[in-house]
């Protein structure tokens, strides 16, 4: 099964990459911070597993990530621009019956998109806890600091894993820094908008974005799955994709 790639106009016409695999029910998959669709969903076989289960996996590279445009114009980074890009994708594809799944930053983007009015049939939030939404300001400040100290961060520094991953992914740090400043905290009461059936799936050693059980409890219609791994490693495990697949296939 092969992956095809194309470009679509995001918010304000930004040139954003979209990768597809499979045929069937549309499933949007949003990757994590400093990652890409290829790294998050394709490399470890998750997208192929979901395609084999009957889904068309629609995998954008988020703005300033992967093959998508990474503009240096501050005007290209209004508040919640990733949620705006997500809405542009749904509109571009004419989707009205689809599922939505995001990991880490992709989960946060999915939440913001639903709060703004998107209505997926089912929602999957991976690598996310309540604090990663309600307390994003502190989390974002951590990554901005990692970018600002990029050339001086040494092994043992809490920012070292983030800097190492940015190097691996050849992240455009100017664009990434501006993107990080477009995020705001999501108050817990706003989560009532997530009324659709929702899966919270995290690695058993992952608390990078807070407590997934607290997030599950805060949502109107959510269940939790725990898979092996840390925040970085859980997406490499087959159990991660299996949990998503099984949840989406439930009637």
pLDDT tens per residue, the chain (251 residues)? 899 999 999 999 999 999 999 999 999 999 999 999 999 999 999 999 999 999 999 999 999 999 999 999 999 999 999 999 999 999 999 999 999 999 999 999 999 999 999 999 999 999 999 999 999 888 889 999 999 999 999 999 999 999 999 999 999 999 999 999 999 899 999 999 999 999 999 999 999 999 999 999 999 999 999 999 999 999 999 999 999 999 999 98
SS3 state of residue 20: strand
**Nearest 10 degrees: CA dihedral of 136, 142, 146, 148?**
90
Q: Is residue 162 part of a domain?
A: no
Q: Is residue 214 part of a domain?
A: yes
Q: Is residue 14 part of a domain?
A: yes
pTM above 0.85, yes or no: yes
Q: Is residue 166 part of a domain?
A: no
| Strands, sheet with 4-9, edge to edge from the N-terminal-most edge strand | 4-9, 15-21, 55-60, 25-30, 99-103, 122-126, 197-203, 222-227
The domain spanning residue 85 has which CATH number? Answer: 3.40.50.1820
175 neighbors 64 (Cβ within 8 angstroms):
yes
Instruction: Residue 189: give the domain boundaries.
Output: 4-135+185-249
- Reported as type and span, the H/E element at residue 59 is strand 55-60
Q: Is residue 177 part of a domain?
A: no
Other CB atoms within 10 A of residue 31 CB: 26
Distance CA 236, CA 99 (A): 21
């Amino acid at each position: 099964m092969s992956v095809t790639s194309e470009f679509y106009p995001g918010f304000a016409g930004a040139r954003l990459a979209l990768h597809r695999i499979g045929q069937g029910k549309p499933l949007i998959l949003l990757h994590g911070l400093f990652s890409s669709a290829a790294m998050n969903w394709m490399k470890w076989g998750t997208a192929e597993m979901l395609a084999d289960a009957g889904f068309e996996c629609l995998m954008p590279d988020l703005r300033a990530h992967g093959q998508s445009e990474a503009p240096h114009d501050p005007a290209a980074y209004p508040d919640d621009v990733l949620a705006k890009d997500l809405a542009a994708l749904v509109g571009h594809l004419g989707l009205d019956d689809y599922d939505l799944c995001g990991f880490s930053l992709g989960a946060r983007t999915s939440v913001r998109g639903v709060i703004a009015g998107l209505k997926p049939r089912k929602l999957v939030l991976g690598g996310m806890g309540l604090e990663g939404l309600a307390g994003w300001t502190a989390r974002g400040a951590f990554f901005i600091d990692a970018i600002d100290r990029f050339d001086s961060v040494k092994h043992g520094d809490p920012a070292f894993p983030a800097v190492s991953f940015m190097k691996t992914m050849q992240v455009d740090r100017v664009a990434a820094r501006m993107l990080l400043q477009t995020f705001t905290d999501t108050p817990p009461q706003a989560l009532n908008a997530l009324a659709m059936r929702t899966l919270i799936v995290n690695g058993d050693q992952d608390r990078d974005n807070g407590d997934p059980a607290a997030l599950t409890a805060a949502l109107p219609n959510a269940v939790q799955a725990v898979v092996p791994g840390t925040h970085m490693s859980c997406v490499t495990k087959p159990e991660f994709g299996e949990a998503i697949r099984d949840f989406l296939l439930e009637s």
